[in-house]
Structure 1
Amino acid sequence: MIYVDDHRPAHVHVIAADGEAVFILNCPDGPPELRERHGLSLKTVNRIQKELANHLSALCPKWSEIHGDF
């Protein structure tokens, strides 16, 4: 999730049934970097981080559309 009233640097909030994590995207080239996690296992966080890396080409332009520069 990218919140419209959020702050820089470009980041996303990933919310799951068992917790959440925040990843700095390091746009435009990545790699995403874990900023914080609550309740998620490291295994889950690593899987999410890999998936985010695969979607930077969509996430970074969306962040820029909402907030301007990264």
Structure 2
Amino acid sequence: MPTVLRLDGLRVRIYVDDHRPAHVHVIAADGEAVFVLNCPDGPPELRERHGVSLQMVNRIQKELAKHLSVLCPKWREIHGDY
């Protein structure tokens, strides 16, 4: 499960043996949130959250949107099509 991006203490991961659609797991100190990326143009959408506040989810969503140009190619590199 490579960490493909770090955002202010958050780890953004793409699991190697994962499934489509393209998504990332964001690991925070208090839990985890999963976002579907909607590659290549976004916007990222929350799929599930565990222990992460809605305020944090909104912040993460905005940050992920800024990094789609990195995250989508990384997903494709690991898994092929979106």
**Which whole-Å CA distance do the structure 1 matches of 2:40 and 2:47 have between them?**
17
Q: Higher strand share goes to which structure?
A: 2
Instruction: Determine whether 1:27 maps to 2:45.
Output: no
Divergent runs of 4+, >3 A? none
Cα displacement (A) at 1:22: 0.1
Corresponding residue of 2:80: 68
SS at match of 1:50: helix
Q: What RMSD, in angstroms, separates the aligned Cα atoms of the two structures?
A: 0.3
Percent identity between matched residues is: 87
Unmatched segments (≥5 aa) in structure 1: none
Show CA shifts across 1:12-60 (max 9, x none): 0001110110000000000000000000110000000000000000000
Unmatched segments (≥5 aa) in structure 2: 1-12
Corresponding residue of 1:51: 63
Of structures 1 and 2, the one scoring higher in RCO (CA 8 A, sep 6+) is 1
TM-score normalised by the chain length of structure 1: 0.99
Aligned length: 70
Q: How does 1:7-26 map to 2 (within 5 A)?
A: 7-26=19-38
Find 1:36's aligned residue among 48, 55, 60: 48
TM-score normalised by the chain length of structure 2: 0.85
